[in-house]
Structures are given as structure tokens and as C-alpha cells.
Structure 1
Amino acid sequence: MKRQKRDRLDRAFSKGFQAGVGGRSKELCPYASLDSRSQWLGGWREGVDGRINGMFSK
């Protein structure tokens, strides 16, 4: 069970990262649960930071 939960949170982080790199707003987070939402927002922040620092281009 722990592996499934971790995989779900990893997927939320990855989707948030992709959204951040793509320039999407953090208000578009599709998750309602606190754990998944916080992982998505963490990924989004890293994606935005990478995009701003020039690591990624659209």
C-alpha cells in the first residue's frame, strides 16, 4: 500500500512540474486532497524556477 501511495504522490509532483515548466497557473491544480495538492504545488514551483532560470524552454 505504501508503494501505491508514494507512486500517486510522485505522479502528482511530476504533473505539477510539467505544468510549471509549461507556464500554467498554480490555480489550475487538479488535486483536492492535501497531500497530492502539496506535491503538485512543489513540482509546480520547481518547474517555474527552472523555467525562469533558463533551464527549460517551452
Structure 2
Amino acid sequence: MRGYQHGINGKSRDMCPFTHPTTRQAWINGWREGRGDNWDGLTGAAGIHRLNELHAVG
């Protein structure tokens, strides 16, 4: 969730605060989804809708 938020806002994946491999990978996976959505133009209301979908799942 937090990784997605960083990605959708165009922030660097180097900002990942986790060092444990499993947790770090989950954060980076979210970041990748967020970056992809950012590149696809899902910002503003569309990005909020997507974030709500992810929150409901995870």
C-alpha cells in the first residue's frame, strides 16, 4: 500500500524503508504497480479509486 502510494506519486523506489527481503519485495511490488498506474495517467480521482481497490484487497 505504501509502496503503491510512493509509485503513483512518482517517488523513487530507493525510498523503500524496509530491509527484510519479503517485506521489501512486497513494498517494491506495490511501487511498481503505482508507477505503472502513474505512467498510465491514473492520478487524481482515478488514482484514488485504484488505491481504494488495493486497500480493499490487501
Paired residue for 1:21? 8
Paired residue for 1:56? 43
CA positional deviation for 1:36: 0.5
CA positional deviation for 1:42: 0.2
CA positional deviation for 1:22: 1.1
Runs of 4+ residues deviating >4 angstroms: none
Q: TM-score, normalised to structure 2's length?
A: 0.72
Q: TM-score, normalised to structure 1's length?
A: 0.72
What letter is aligned with 1:39?
Answer: A
Which structure has the bigger radius of gyration? 1
Structure 2 spans left out of the alignment, 5+ residues: 45-58
What letter is aligned with 1:42?
Answer: N
Structure 1 spans left out of the alignment, 5+ residues: 1-13
CA positional deviation for 1:21: 0.7
Counterpart CA distance in 2 for 1:22 and 1:47 is 8
- Equivalenced residues, count: 45
Paired residue for 1:37? 24
